[in-house]
Homo-oligomer: A and B are copies of this chain.
Amino acid sequence: MTTGGMNIGEVAKRSGVPAKTIRYYESIGLIRPAERSAAGYRIYGDRELQTLRFIQRARNLGFSVKQVGALLALWQDRARASGDVKAVARRHLDEIDRRMAELQSMRDTLEHLIGRCHGDHRPDCPILADLAGEPAQADGGSGRARVERSGADG
Contacts and interface: CB of A to CB of B under 8 A. Distances in A.
Task: Indicate the member of A18, A71, A86 with the most B CB atoms within 10 Å.
Answer: A86
A80 to B, nearest CB: 5
B97 A60 contact: no
Contacts of A85: 117, 119, 125, 127-128
Greatest chain B CB density within 10 A among A79, A87, A147 is at A147
Contacts of A121: 81-83
Contacts of A66: none
A121 B111 CA distance: 47
Contact size class for A? Answer: 35 or more
A113 B89 CA distance: 9
Number of copies: 2
Main secondary structure on A side of the interface with B = helix
Interface of A: 18, 50, 53-54, 57-58, 60-62, 71, 74-75, 77-83, 85-87, 89-90, 92-93, 96-97, 99-100, 103-104, 106-107, 109-111, 113-114, 117-125, 127-128, 130-133, 145-147, 149, 154
